[in-house]
Structure 1
């Protein structure tokens, strides 16, 4: 099972997370997020990431050239698109990095919306909330049984330390991992390493 920890922006915390075994980390380039990395701090923060970590840049309706330049500058392995990016935008980004396209799921969400994005490397099904991710709320994962397409997906949205049994019990042929964030935070952008260690000890994790 893949596990990605999103919203990293503290050098020491990044290294602690690495020591805890996490090899996929998300970095937010959306200036409306509480976990946004300020421009003047990016070189320092991204430069502290060990080489074998998969770096995921999170964008929301970003200018295409900005997103491309950010991928190149910081040697990002993935881009996670949390806005209204169309399939053409995704295809352009796939020339530089793997693409995770996020969708906000609620009781009226139609998985037909994902048909045009099946060329992406992964989809991410997040909870629909007031913000573009990091809302700390969950949705009913049973909804995901209606997903009948081929692109593998990750689950996000309010996942916390008490959700191990729920994750292990969830079954879907295209479910490949989880994306955690606010449920493991001391404050926005600072993760509780002990809670993550305990949580991941029950899950089989992958970096690829």
Structure 2
């Protein structure tokens, strides 16, 4: 089974287009103002309108106001939501859209517990734990903490780049991988050659 690729933290149309041309299955748009990769609704809508068919646009949120999520769904055209904060399952499910829950992994129980606590999630995104951040740490974590038993798709994130993603895919066999900083030349600005190399490495083993 082919490993899917999401390029997250897109802030420019040209970066979205380059990601798709390189073979990305999805792009991520960050609706979390403290992030250096955050976009507003108008900016995100322009990016989504530039996407071709069959490429997913994912909206990333951290403990958002529900009205913001509804606005993004209505005005941007987001069909898949990704929650990185402390949102309970009931919060995530209220929008009647497919959604992912991010899990910051510290021990063997974190992922199995999240599958139980978020039974309606379309999948889990696993990332490195940082007590001060809800994601975007740029750090890898111990992949052996990820169980082989997965009732729903698992997306691997956390410090991935072209130098380590092949090993990550071989070790974890995730449904998809998610990268942001590992394909940037500066925060929020992607590097086309790094995206191409990253996806080439994923496809080499995935």
Scaled by the length of structure 2, what TM-score is found? Answer: 0.88
Report how far residue 165 of structure 1 moved. Answer: 3.2
Counterpart in the other structure of 2:198: 199
Report how far residue 171 of structure 1 moved. Answer: 4.0
Counterpart in the other structure of 2:182: 183
**8 A contact 2:100–2:122 mirrored in 1:** yes
The within-5 A match list for 1:57-68 is 57-68=59-70
**8 A contact 2:15–2:190 mirrored in 1:** yes
User: Across the two proteins, how many residue pairs are aligned to each other?
Assistant: 200
CA distance in 2 between counterparts of 1:115 and 1:148 reads 12
Counterpart in the other structure of 1:41: 43
Report how far residue 149 of structure 1 moved. Answer: 4.5
**8 A contact 1:118–1:150 mirrored in 2:** no
Q: Which moved more, 1:99-108 or 1:183-192?
A: 99-108
Pair 112,28 (structure 1): closer, same or farther in 2 beyond 3 Å: same
Report how far residue 92 of structure 1 moved. Answer: 1.2
**8 A contact 1:125–1:154 mirrored in 2:** yes
Counterpart in the other structure of 1:170: 171
**8 A contact 2:100–2:124 mirrored in 1:** yes
**8 A contact 1:115–1:149 mirrored in 2:** no
For structure 2, the 5+ residue unaligned runs are none
Counterpart in the other structure of 2:17: 15
**8 A contact 1:104–1:128 mirrored in 2:** yes
**8 A contact 1:23–1:54 mirrored in 2:** yes
Counterpart in the other structure of 2:135: 133
Pair 165,13 (structure 1): closer, same or farther in 2 beyond 3 Å: closer
Counterpart in the other structure of 2:160: 159
